[in-house]
Structure 1
């Protein structure tokens, strides 16, 4: 046992929620410690999520462009060959640089970083068990739970990270599978499916629902699926996986219609289970301070306060979108509450992005939600086919869609399916944060030629004065 240390804030979990909480706490002069069981900061996002997947998405996009597009624009090179070992090394080098950057931020903001597993032992008490088994005791005025989430398991389909993988395993496959079956047509499954399809795999997506990407505007999702199908994806919608059997030949998946029916078998080299994520709270000692999770495993909170005095929770362990940038917003707000300031997060303005090609991004309400609520609204749309920059770059799939109040013109939602959609959604977030109308954006000069002009043209479309289509 080492000597007990005392802090103002102890943060359990070093992902985007945890490390941003630590940075903000340090900025506000709070004596802060952060605990991370992985042994390296950054959480799922930096280590086995957002960042490595974007590295592989980028590399695979370039590989596909060199294979198919270069010759059409006058670049003649030998057919590219895949060096998967080097691609994985480049991915890991980028990840390592980012995690070291987070460690630097801890030092810069005078945060004590403690590698090990954090557990709440009682009110104001946290233990840290290092990898060598040694235990350190901490006392603190405030505990912030920022332990994130883990892949949701699928009954009957046991992940071995070889033939049946979750998102972590899919980021490190040693070879390109001939046939990859993705179970789950959500963001993670489609992004990772895109990587391996570009590198040469046949990709089949099996989804329980009768549509892809639940939560996305239905019109956008329908067009998105058509684009992915054109790229080579195959979809089995309204279908459930009941069992998986592995052998030297591969994996045999047992499927049947979601509503019941005859069983069928689907053969694959590798199966990726990507049916969602669940909060990670196992072994944290919540019971030691009387905290109980809800039926879905989330920690109930009121403005990030749990039922236990001095214990706070942020990010994927509480309700709301399971997104890194949402966790960052939670982090800042919770720490500002702890410091006696006014923290706030507007969950209606948390954007979502799918980093396929083309990308999909959205913020605010979908058309489905407005219809269900009986809201009177107007729609403005603009296709990338009519956008000069997209046309010149051969990136014409998709469109921009604005949803605004029929009377006041206040924007309820913006949806972008197209190139660089994730970069363009930011101006919609700003517009909506200030309660802006579609006309406000429509009358702001945008540079030409840029893809962002499509956003402006869609805003013009709400009032029927689109000028470029």
Structure 2
């Protein structure tokens, strides 16, 4: 039986970062991946495919240029599934090649198969019906990710009714689409298809969605969706889905309404891919959605040598945070020093338009009874926005009236997921409104919106006390 210092189950963002961190600490590492190629959900069916699909659609549809050339402008008149799939395959092959090279360069072993705990230190890996190997490890990191939630009353068939994994496997361009679930994944796919002028109906059982995002940003987002004709059915559930004679999906909603579309994407939740891991042999229990409970500082489960990281531990389920969780787990497992985690990290939602946010929302600031002021900048107010033909997009900055410090940065529009990192740095360094007002930004850039939004707030704030310099100490 081969022995390793660390075995990582799963090779997505959390798994790869845990494995490489442990290898850099001089430890022997084995990564077990149940696919034939490494990358996990992130590379094969999740983050990379959906973002590649988004970029392909925005390029081929001419979406970014319509502000200048009109709503009828197209780079390619008739976009087909094969157009979407070609770029997707090239991107996935590149991502897998880079990851395999990283593992090889750092001496990380990989093996294909399904892992199962025999005890807290021993795993059996099933390669095929006849073949199985056993491995032993000092520590284990569970980074298996999630799989789509598939309720029994939804007739998934991968021709007209899809989940969020198989819709990316062989992308098509339907005549119409129903998306069930207004979470991050559902919104991303709904808006991507809408950008191709596919009529989209979005169904969500809650009256509101993305509750962790500042409501003013969501109001702007909803306005954009309605302006381009997307149908929003909020506060209703899908009671049944049937297929008609043409194979189209007919959804019956709880309010009695019926929606008929060529395709339906069910994206209402995901479950941790923990079934079959044999967790019961170690005394670990998953919740009703297959997720694992961990110490949020060390990512240890209730079994000291077993860690879990990434989507399998639940919110926020971001690739960026999953990587940090995997790194921290590996460091803690082998007693390596860990710098304190930053107080705030950014969220990125790759819808059309993009949404990105860091820090406190206005609702959270109010709940904490912090005296505050907000500043708003519209992208159309920037010269770069005019050059790009942007007609929408906004930035919202929230500042403390007492300390003048930045409390939150919230952005919707082109480049939001890139722009947010300026706000992230200022926020974590405890910077103030005066930083934005007193510093120069490249011109013309969308980043100039930081100065515009800061000035908007600055003009309503009391002047800084004479002789008192702005300080990162707040």
TM-score (normalizing by structure 1): 0.91
**Does the 8 Å contact 1:24/1:335 carry over to 2?**
yes
Q: Is 1:9–2:2 an aligned residue pair?
A: no
Instruction: Show CA shifts across 1:201-224 (max 9, x none).
Output: 211111112234332111110111
Match of 1:20 in 2: 17
**Does the 8 Å contact 1:35/1:117 carry over to 2?**
yes
Unaligned runs of 5+ residues in structure 1 are 258-262
Instruction: Show CA shifts across 1:174-207 (max 9, x none).
Output: 6421110011122211221223223342111111
Q: Is 1:349–2:347 an aligned residue pair?
A: no
Q: Which moved more, 1:457-466 or 1:160-169?
A: 457-466
Residue 40 of structure 1: CA displacement? 1.4
**Residues 313 and 208 (structure 1), Cα distance of their counterparts in 2 relative to 1, 3 Å cut:** same
Instruction: Choose which of 420, 436, 444 in structure 1 pairs with 2:439.
Output: 444
**Does the 8 Å contact 1:178/1:269 carry over to 2?**
yes
Q: Secondary structure at the match of 1:156?
A: coil
**Residues 231 and 341 (structure 1), Cα distance of their counterparts in 2 relative to 1, 3 Å cut:** same
**Residues 171 and 80 (structure 1), Cα distance of their counterparts in 2 relative to 1, 3 Å cut:** same
Q: How does 1:176-187 map to 2 (within 5 A)?
A: 176-187=173-184
**Does the 8 Å contact 1:379/1:404 carry over to 2?**
yes
**Residues 78 and 386 (structure 1), Cα distance of their counterparts in 2 relative to 1, 3 Å cut:** closer
Instruction: Choose which of 279, 285, 289 in structure 2 pairs with 1:292.
Output: 285
Match of 2:117 in 1: 120
Instruction: Show CA shifts across 1:62-82 (max 9, x none).
Output: 222179739829x99986332
Instruction: Choose which of 286, 294, 318 in structure 2 pairs with 1:301.
Output: 294
Residue 131 of structure 1: CA displacement? 3.4
Match of 1:84 in 2: 81
**Does the 8 Å contact 1:162/1:169 carry over to 2?**
no
Q: Which moved more, 1:153-162 or 1:115-124?
A: 153-162
Instruction: Choose which of 402, 406, 424 in structure 1 pairs with 2:401.
Output: 406
Q: Which moved more, 1:437-446 or 1:230-239?
A: 437-446
Match of 2:252 in 1: 254
**Does the 8 Å contact 1:154/1:275 carry over to 2?**
no
CA RMSD of aligned residues (A): 2.3
Residue 437 of structure 1: CA displacement? 2.1
Residue 93 of structure 1: CA displacement? 1.5
Match of 1:103 in 2: 100
Instruction: Choose which of 336, 360, 364 in structure 2 pairs with 1:365.
Output: 360
CA–CA distance in structure 2, aligned partners of residues 364 and 334 of structure 1: 24
Unaligned runs of 5+ residues in structure 2 are 462-474
Instruction: Show CA shifts across 1:15-59 (max 9, x none).
Output: 011011111111111110000001211111111111111111111
CA–CA distance in structure 2, aligned partners of residues 381 and 11 of structure 1: 45
Match of 1:378 in 2: 373
Instruction: Show CA shifts across 1:323-380 (max 9, x none).
Output: 1111001011111112212336747522111223321100122112222333322211
CA–CA distance in structure 2, aligned partners of residues 410 and 195 of structure 1: 36
Q: Secondary structure at the match of 1:380?
A: strand
Instruction: Show CA shifts across 1:361-407 (max 9, x none).
Output: 00122112222333322211111121110122111312111112221
Match of 2:413 in 1: 418
Match of 2:469 in 1: none
**Residues 8 and 206 (structure 1), Cα distance of their counterparts in 2 relative to 1, 3 Å cut:** same
Match of 2:159 in 1: 162
Match of 2:37 in 1: 40
Match of 1:279 in 2: 272
Q: Is 1:145–2:145 an aligned residue pair?
A: no
Match of 2:470 in 1: none
CA–CA distance in structure 1, aligned partners of residues 272 and 433 of structure 2: 37
Q: How does 1:320-339 map to 2 (within 5 A)?
A: 320-339=315-334
**Does the 8 Å contact 2:56/2:87 carry over to 1?**
no
CA–CA distance in structure 1, aligned partners of residues 402 and 74 of structure 2: 56
Q: Secondary structure at the match of 2:165?
A: helix
CA–CA distance in structure 2, aligned partners of residues 213 and 206 of structure 1: 14
Instruction: Show CA shifts across 1:398-441 (max 9, x none).
Output: 21111122211222211001210000111111112222223223
Instruction: Show CA shifts across 1:269-326 (max 9, x none).
Output: 1111111222221111111111112455321212211111311111112243011111
Residue 84 of structure 1: CA displacement? 2.6
Q: Secondary structure at the match of 1:159?
A: coil
CA–CA distance in structure 1, aligned partners of residues 75 and 281 of structure 2: 63
**Residues 295 and 388 (structure 1), Cα distance of their counterparts in 2 relative to 1, 3 Å cut:** same
**Does the 8 Å contact 1:396/1:418 carry over to 2?**
no
Instruction: Show CA shifts across 1:116-138 (max 9, x none).
Output: 11111102111111135411111
**Residues 347 and 274 (structure 1), Cα distance of their counterparts in 2 relative to 1, 3 Å cut:** farther
Q: Secondary structure at the match of 2:399?
A: strand
**Residues 379 and 294 (structure 1), Cα distance of their counterparts in 2 relative to 1, 3 Å cut:** same
TM-score (normalizing by structure 2): 0.91
Q: How does 1:215-234 map to 2 (within 5 A)?
A: 215-234=212-231
CA–CA distance in structure 2, aligned partners of residues 247 and 95 of structure 1: 35
Match of 1:260 in 2: none
**Residues 418 and 200 (structure 1), Cα distance of their counterparts in 2 relative to 1, 3 Å cut:** closer
CA–CA distance in structure 1, aligned partners of residues 151 and 370 of structure 2: 37
Match of 1:264 in 2: 257
